Structure 1
Amino acid sequence: MKIFLVFSALLALAAAKYFTTGNDHLDVDEVMRHPDRIRKFVECFVDRAPCDALAESYKVIMPEAISTACRRCNDPQKHMWQRFLWGLRVHYPHYYEAYRQKYDPKNIYMDDMERAVADF
């Protein structure tokens, strides 16, 4: 019985290793090409508008992902983060600043986060 409990606990830990989102393969570059779509995502992320199910699935992981430099992100998620943060910074700087202010108001985590996902 003890072996079963230990095995079950290990399985639960393994399952919790990576974040779960609504779509780990969202084409962020395509979203960035549509200002109305990126606005809806960002306004959801910064609590200015309601979230649809997909946006909410990303939003719930953001605080931990940012504060831990994406430690529990899988490679597709790291790629999405890289494209999202780069796209905001380059094409939508006002959204980038609002996003940073929401998730890293003391400027402690975001630089490490961006370095962690830079090569994805």
Structure 2
Amino acid sequence: MRPITLFALFTLAAAEVEYYTADEIRDIDAVISDISRVKSFVDCFLDREPCHEPAGTYRALIPEILATKCEMCPDEFKHLAHVFLTKLKASLYDEYLDLRYKYDHENQYFDDFEKALEAYKQLIWHEY
């Protein structure tokens, strides 16, 4: 029984997580230019209001994304996360801090996650 259980666990762990991509949000610039939409995402992430999609899916993925520094995320998702967090820090800094505290109250992951997103951004810029 144990080998079957272990196999099942490894199979589940190896399954690729389905991330929404920037294509799911047709125009990220339109989202971040509307502060009420940004706030709606944050309110979902902080359990202040019900989530709509894709915000609900993102919320469920936040702990894993932070812990893995988004290593398994598609490039589109990394871009989306970077743009969103940049706007959040610039426009709703207190909400940004609340988000950090909720998902990383011991400050173990968030800084490394943001560094990984910044490194991805720099890599993309150097390719062009």
Same fold (TM over 0.5): yes
Give TM-score scaled by structure 2 length.
0.75
Query: Where in structure 1 are there 5+ consecutive unaligned residues?
Result: 1-8
Find the residue that maps to 2:54 and give its secondary structure.
helix
Q: Which residue of 1 aligns with 2:19?
A: 21
Q: Which residue of 2 aligns with 1:74?
A: 74
Task: Tell me which amino acid in the other structure corresponds to 2:61.
Answer: I
Contact 2:21-2:74 at 8 Å conserved across structures: no
Separation (CA, whole Å) in 2 of partners of 1:95 and 1:63: 17
Give TM-score scaled by structure 1 length.
0.79
Q: Which residue of 1 aligns with 2:41?
A: 41
Structure 1's 47 and 54: CA in aligned 2 closer, same or farther, altered over 3 A? same
Aligned residues: 109
Query: Where in structure 2 are there 5+ consecutive unaligned residues?
Result: 1-9, 122-128
Find the residue that maps to 1:24 and give its secondary structure.
coil
Deviation at 1:96, TM superposition (A): 0.5
Q: Is 1:83 matched with 2:79?
A: no
Deviation at 1:22, TM superposition (A): 4.0
Separation (CA, whole Å) in 1 of partners of 2:31 and 2:95: 14
Deviation at 1:23, TM superposition (A): 4.2
Q: Which residue of 1 aligns with 2:126?
A: none
Contact 2:21-2:77 at 8 Å conserved across structures: no
Separation (CA, whole Å) in 1 of partners of 2:62 and 2:32: 19
Q: Which residue of 2 aligns with 1:65?
A: 65
Tell me which stretches of 4 or more aligned residues in structure 1 moved more than 2 Å. Answer: 21-30
Q: Which residue of 2 aligns with 1:30?
A: 30
Q: Which residue of 2 aligns with 1:3?
A: none
Separation (CA, whole Å) in 2 of partners of 1:22 and 1:77: 7
Contact 2:70-2:78 at 8 Å conserved across structures: yes
Bigger proportion of residues as helix: 2
Identity %: 35
Q: Considering only aligned residues, what root-mean-square deviation do their CA atoms show, in Å?
A: 2.1
Separation (CA, whole Å) in 2 of partners of 1:32 and 1:44: 15
Q: Which residue of 2 aligns with 1:54?
A: 54
Deviation at 1:77, TM superposition (A): 0.6
Separation (CA, whole Å) in 1 of partners of 2:65 and 2:53: 18
Q: Which residue of 1 aligns with 2:112?
A: 112
